[in-house]
Structure 1
Amino acid sequence: MKKLLLLPLATALCGALAGAHAGPPAAAPRPAYFALKVYHLKSSRQEALVDSFLQHQYVPALHAAGIPAIGVFKPVGNDTAADRRVYVFTPYASMKQWEQVDKGVAAKLVAAGGGYENAVYTNPAYGRQENIFIKAFDEMTALNAPRLDAPKAERVYELRSYEGASEKIFRNKVQMFNAGGEIKLFDRLGFNGIFYGEVLFGPKMPNLMYMTSFKNMPDREAHWKAFGADPEWKRLSGLPEYQNNVAHIDITFLRPANYSDL
């Protein structure tokens, strides 16, 4: 059963990632869930320790478990921030796959040891972990490698969280993304969406989250300018049924780690 769950996603995602380096990337099958882990770090030592763990242990272990596309990102300006962060994004075909991979990888990493796993309580590897579990929107048809030709150091990945004032109002915004056509508009305008989904478990519920990607900040500004001026967005955002359906927006600008798959 495990092979049946993992093989289709692994095969297609490998093709997508290979395409990112040789011609237009291919779309992978639609993942059902995403795990977004956020490390909160207090020092450059902790950041280096987490980086080493992710690059040399965690990401390879997930690859071996059949998850070939792992995204690792850091906020722009992370080096000078008081709260340094590292975001780890992992797609899953099902809840069962997440459970199988999570248990298997955790056991192997503990057994393998290392500076991260064996850090003592007086000198920990990180401050805290924040774990967010997300269900893919219906209209997110595939996981795509970004169509970006810029070096990773110049790219801008924009992570957004939209909070609803209530569950009912939140559902209205979700409908706007799906049936309303907001995701299709992002796709048509070339926003290079990484994921779109509703948060099932997280600190700011009810909320949805999504990530788009750009070759640099001017490219990001140009895309959002085109979005705001698009007749379809003006029509959609002007509909009476979609008014006042976002209570708060958080925007985080990220760049991929040099070992990130996305």
Structure 2
Amino acid sequence: MKKLSLVIALLIWIGCKPADPSMENHSARQYYQLRTYSFANIVQAQATRLYLKDALIPALQRMQIGPVGVFNNRVDEKDTLPRTYVLIPLQSLDELLEIDQTLATDSIYSADGQAFLSANYDNPPYLRLESTLLHAFSEWPQLVTPPLDGPRADRIYELRSYESPTESYGKNKIEMFNAGGEVRLFERLGCNAVFYGQVVSGSRMPNLMYMTAYSDSTSRYQHWDAFFGSPEWKSLISNPYYDHNVNHADIWLLYPTEYSEY
């Protein structure tokens, strides 16, 4: 009888356990640190990118933190400031604190990053470093690496930031992604979402950020055409419940470095 009760309990547990990782409970939601390095010139960019490649990424790998994405912007007449973005997935906020503590005692990291870490005040390796902390959406609790092939230089990792006029409107926009079905629409269309996150510490709050990925610019245009033409989006955008929940949007079209882990 005890064995039968145990079997029944096990079957109930299996039946209640979500098959889709996007439906897992709140505790499964990752955090993300997004580091944005801005550079005054190519010399700074080269110094920082060498540090990331040879020192920071290998050190994070030794800590079993990853996969870490490293992306550069495409400098042109509209975007003249070179930047590098580093996306670090975290299982908890404690892990964020542990990174700095571990790096401080990692002799390999100190040696490999010596030039960057000991740079003089009049020759810094970057113009500015901004750190943004995000908490994953309930509908997409874990970072997903996109199954892209083809040349990395052709790929587009589209990073978006949506700012809201108030925290209440910000929560409404997040609800639009989760319960409203915007996340599911991106998934249905094969937009290769990497992450969706609410910014919990940053310079543009209240805001959310997310990243989708495409093999090239043609694929990106095709996917966005399908998105804006979909019945799901037309239904969402015509719903007055979601009116005025975004008052500023930024879009950055990035490409992965050769040492990015995806």
CA distance in 1, matches of 2:211, 2:103: 26
> Percent identity between the aligned chains?
40
Aligned to 2:103: 105
User: CA 1:78/1:58 → structure 2, altered by over 3 Å: closer, same or farther?
Assistant: farther
CA distance in 1, matches of 2:252, 2:36: 12
RMSD (Å) for aligned C-alpha atoms: 2.0
Q: Which digits, 9 at most, give the CA deviation of each residue in 1:216-251, with x for residues without a partner?
A: 111101000000111111112211211121101000
Aligned to 1:7: none
CA distance in 2, matches of 1:82, 1:147: 30
> Is 2:169 the partner of 1:169?
yes
Contact residue 136 and residue 142 of structure 2 kept, 8 A? no
CA distance in 2, matches of 1:85, 1:32: 25
Matches for 1:71-220 after TM superposition, within 5 Å? 71-77=69-75, 82-108=80-106, 111-112=110-111, 113-220=113-220
Aligned to 1:47: 45
1:77 is displaced (CA, Å) by 2.2
Query: Which portions of structure 1, spanning 4 or more consecutive aligned residues, are displaced by more than 6 angstroms?
Result: none
Aligned to 2:245: 245
Compare 92-101 and 243-252 and name the one that shifted more.
92-101
Contact residue 31 and residue 143 of structure 1 kept, 8 A? no
User: CA 1:81/1:160 → structure 2, altered by over 3 Å: closer, same or farther?
Assistant: closer
> Is 2:74 the partner of 1:68?
no
TM-score for the superposition, normalised by structure 2 = 0.85
TM-score for the superposition, normalised by structure 1 = 0.85
CA distance in 2, matches of 1:48, 1:201: 28
For the residue of structure 1 that corresponds to 2:154, the secondary structure is coil
Aligned to 2:32: 34
Gaps of 5+ in 1: 1-26
Contact residue 158 and residue 212 of structure 1 kept, 8 A? yes
Aligned to 2:234: 234
CA distance in 2, matches of 1:174, 1:58: 32
User: CA 1:108/1:79 → structure 2, altered by over 3 Å: closer, same or farther?
Assistant: farther
Q: What is the one-letter code of the residue matched to 2:103?
A: V
1:127 is displaced (CA, Å) by 1.0
For the residue of structure 2 that corresponds to 1:86, the secondary structure is strand
Greater Rg over alpha carbons, structure = 2
1:95 is displaced (CA, Å) by 0.8
